[in-house]
Amino acid sequence: MKNAGLLDGLIQALRRLPGVGPKSAQRYAYHLLQHDREGARHLSEALAGALAGLRRCQRCNTFSDQAICETCASTRRDPSLLCVVETPSDQLMVEQTLAFQGLYYVLMGRLSPLDGVGPREIGLEQLLARASDGVVTEVILATNFTQEGEATAHYLGELLRARGLAVTRLARGVPMGSELEYVDASTIAQAMRDRR
């Protein structure tokens, strides 16, 4: 194996993927080289293409190959509603509900002081400027219901309210289709407080 400089290089490069250790990186490399060279070529080109062509949407901060992404450019959406999510996947999940017709702002992260992710790292200035465009009247905070997501929502909420915006948060409660017996106590407690 000592001579396989190119192979080792590929395995090391695959280890840069999050959560991929040496064994998985080896498995990926062998698979691509032996069984899916077309897939390897495809991946190499997709990476180069994305690096060269993808930028951030100037309005919502998500990845886009245009200056303004298609969602932000749409005239069929309600520009007075701005939904703040952590990641493009979260945005996709909200879109799939078909329950929201406003616009988005994608933080591309969450506040996480222990990991060195502060207000600057999540582009807070840009969000405040976006929300203060005079058209947005309500900001819906749809960050995750994790500790960091909640802290982010709390922090953003204070700043946005200080600018005179209506700020709401996705409702917490018992998930659809679940049996109370198997729901954790803090969720039930929250659902009890927010009963309607």
Q: Interface residues with a copy of itself (CB under 8 A)?
A: 1-7, 9-10, 12-14, 16-19, 23, 26-34, 36-37, 39-51, 53-54, 62-66, 69-71, 87-89, 91-92, 95, 108-109
Among 10, 27, 88, 24, which Cα is nearest to 56's?
Answer: 88
Q: How far is the CB of 149 from a copy of itself (least distance, A)?
A: 16
Helix count and strand count (H, E) for the chain: 8, 6
* Between 40 and 174, CB nearer to a copy of itself: 40
Amino acid letter, residue 45: E
Q: What's the min distance (Å) between Cβ of 175 and a copy of itself?
A: 19
Closest approach of a copy of itself to the CB of residue 180, in Å: 28
Q: Judge whether 81 and 102 are in contact, CB under 8 Å.
A: yes
Query: Which of residues 89 and 147 has its CB atom nearest to a copy of itself in the complex?
Result: 89
Place of tokens 């998985």: 24
- Residue closer to a copy of itself, measured from CB, 5 or 134: 5
Query: Would you say 48 or 162 has its CB closer to a copy of itself?
Result: 48
Pairwise CA distance, residues 149 & 141, whole Å: 10
Of 110, 111, 157, 119, the residue nearest 138 (C-alpha): 157
- Whichever of 51 and 171 has its CB closer to a copy of itself, that residue is 51
Least distance (Å) from a copy of itself to the CB of residue 174? 24
Pick between residue 71 and residue 140 the one whose CB is nearest to a copy of itself: 71
Least Cα distance to 165 among 60, 77, 80, 62 occurs for: 80
Sign of the torsion formed by the C-alpha atoms of 144, 120, 64 and 159:
positive
Distance CA 155, CA 173 (A): 22
CB of 185 to a copy of itself, least distance (A): 28
Shortest distance in whole angstroms from residue 80 CB to a copy of itself: 22
